[in-house]
Structure 1
Amino acid sequence: MDVVWLESLVALGEHGSFTRAAESLHISQPAFSRRIRALEQWAGTDLVDRTSLPITLTPSGRVLRARAADVVAGLSALHDEMRGRQTMPAHPVRLAVSHSLATHYFAGWWRSITADAPQLTCLLLAANTLEAYDTLVHGGCDLLLAYVDPLHPLELGDSDLESVLVARDRLAPYARPDTYRLPDPRRSPDDGPEVPYVSHGAGSFLGRVTDRTLAGRRPRLRPVAQSDLTSVLAALVAAGLGVGWLPGLLTAEQVAAGRMTPVGDGQWTAGLEIRLSRNRRQRASSHAAEVWERATVDRDPTG
């Protein structure tokens, strides 16, 4: 159970529309729909009557929504009470960061940006890449640090977004040493043996980049595990369960320690950029503006 599932059901009951409820929570409609589906799977029954307009809740949905409203209100009150007893960062910059960068890149980057600026603090909002962009578009964060596919940038339909190049990376296939190899891409995929494969979900950002990299010359891959969390896939690769397409920044320590190695020809790889983005429509705090300026000055000199 995730509290945001309950918050989503309460919002749906209030607004009677997936679109308006999603907007009220500053997330995309697909992300909102996934939350409601997840809650229905947890409850074991339909909570929404999708045959009616406007959308209505089923009897089970109305019962759960009433309880959910009490739970959400209680947790909110408890959260406020706990925050009053703890030291919180002063005027934090709200930074949405894709999961893989949050765990393997953000700390070093933030330290370099704020080394001589102790007044700069942050509230880190880790999310998958596509939802992180939704957060920026809808004003749920000040800045976004995320991967970008330079050959296929996201079509966000929002000309008010601007970004600066922070660093470059590469998505490549990795495996535990002395386990699996990929065939020469110039040969027929049927020429090589079947290779166990741990993959990102098809809807995830790095999953889409991987699919484009494999398009038209996919080797004989046998899916054995799937996760949208890149750190989970890296652990599976290091355990010897299969080949996985991973960013170089995430794998550097594992490669240095001899727990995984790049496999296959360089044609199986794709370039990635790490970019810091902001929404010009949104009025930035002075601290967010300072982080942006520092990132612009300190950007990757090759960019």
Structure 2
Amino acid sequence: MDTAWLESLLALVEHGSFTRAAEAQHVSQPAFSRRIRSLEQWFGADLVDRTTFPVTLTRVGTDVASFARSSVAGLAELRDDVRGRQLSPRNAVRISVSHTLAMYYFATWWTGVTGGDVTCTLLPSNTLEAFDALLHGGCDLVLAYADPAHPMGVDQGDLEWIAVAEDRIAPYAKTSEGAPAFSLPGTEGAPAPFVTHGPGAFLGRVTENVIGSLPLQLRPVAQSDLTAALAGLVVAGMGVGWLPGLAAAPAEAAGAICRIGDPSWTAALEIRLYRRRRHHLSSQAALVWEGARH
């Protein structure tokens, strides 16, 4: 059995439809349906009543969902605990950091907060995986981007955060002979080539929120969930890309890329440090938290 099948069943219970559950798991509906069918074949019984809407479970499906809920959470907790013991130096602060911040920001920030006197285990991760690790004990702290205008769709009732810095996502293009190689908004006859984060990436959702209502004519040519890879595509002249300032800064300082478009076609970002609310931090993690507050 693939544990992804169990996770898909739980997503179906939560969202009540195959379409919404597939979107939540960032897979196509046919792929999601195959997971549920595979799980049913493994158990040898129908788990879902497909004649109702919202979708309901059969009696067997209800039993399987109850098992899945406890087993998936238990396996994740055990995995994170084992990984933590295997990978972390003694007394190290385990900090999950979004890939972009791990590459462009973490080292400077960590040194400023701790003076280099605290040992850490840096766990690069996408934003949602970082929150999952935090809530299930896989790390002590999370350092990630946040979009103040559009809170994430995760339950942050159990999380406490500190805003430690600000950034801005904006459109950039390659510089060619002192001028941008592409311009916005583009036209219907000549849409601007567009390189973008995937829809499952946090910064991809931020970009969608920015451009969704704008009068832009864009032609998607490439996609990557890694901001560093996306910045490389912009530098190579493959198209226009919305990048956070931290990721764009090295190439912009070298004159390789420049900001384009209207100043309003951007979005403010916060860099936040997260911890579990009402959870006891180790003495070292507490030092980091207090250092970030001041």
User: How far does the alpha carbon of each residue in 1:144-200 deviate from its partner, in whole angstroms, 9 at most, with x for none?
Assistant: 1000001112242242211111100000001101310113xxxxx647831000011
What is the alpha-carbon distance in structure 2 between the residues aligned to residue 285 and residue 148 of structure 1? Answer: 25
Is the 2:8–2:36 Cα contact (8 Å) retained in structure 1? no
Q: CA deviation at 1:216?
A: 1.8
Q: Helix, strand or coil: the match of 2:161?
A: strand
CA RMSD after TM alignment: 3.5
2:178 equivalent to 1:182: no
2:240 equivalent to 1:250: no
Q: CA deviation at 1:270?
A: 0.5
TM-score, normalisation: structure 1: 0.69
Q: Helix, strand or coil: the match of 2:270?
A: strand
| Corresponding residue of 2:171 | 173
Aligned length: 242
2:88 equivalent to 1:98: no
Evaluate the alpha carbon distance shift between residue 30 and residue 46 of structure 1 in structure 2; reply closer, same or farther with a 3 A threshold: closer
5 Å matches for 1:70-89? Answer: 89=89
- Matched residue type, 1:49: L
| Corresponding residue of 2:132 | 134
Evaluate the alpha carbon distance shift between residue 50 and residue 221 of structure 1 in structure 2; reply closer, same or farther with a 3 A threshold: farther
What is the alpha-carbon distance in structure 2 between the residues aligned to residue 17 and residue 195 of structure 1? Answer: 37
Q: CA deviation at 1:284?
A: 1.3
2:205 equivalent to 1:219: no
What is the alpha-carbon distance in structure 2 between the residues aligned to residue 96 and residue 284 of structure 1? Answer: 15
Percent identity between the two aligned chains: 48
| Corresponding residue of 2:71 | none
Q: Helix, strand or coil: the match of 1:295?
A: helix
What is the alpha-carbon distance in structure 1 between the residues aligned to residue 122 and residue 256 of structure 2? Answer: 29
- Matched residue type, 1:172: A
Unaligned runs of 5+ in 1: 1-7, 21-28, 56-75, 184-188, 298-303
Q: Helix, strand or coil: the match of 1:174?
A: strand
- Structure 1: 4+ residue segments shifted above 6 A: 29-35
Is the 1:139–1:282 Cα contact (8 Å) retained in structure 2? no
- Matched residue type, 2:173: A
2:45 equivalent to 1:48: no
Q: Helix, strand or coil: the match of 1:282?
A: coil
Unaligned runs of 5+ in 2: 12-20, 48-59, 62-81
User: How far does the alpha carbon of each residue in 1:213-240 deviate from its partner, in whole angstroms, 9 at most, with x for none?
Assistant: 1122241111000011111100000000
Evaluate the alpha carbon distance shift between residue 127 and residue 50 of structure 1 in structure 2; reply closer, same or farther with a 3 A threshold: farther
Q: Helix, strand or coil: the match of 1:216?
A: coil
The answer to which of 152-161 and 268-277 deviates more is 152-161
| Corresponding residue of 2:112 | 112
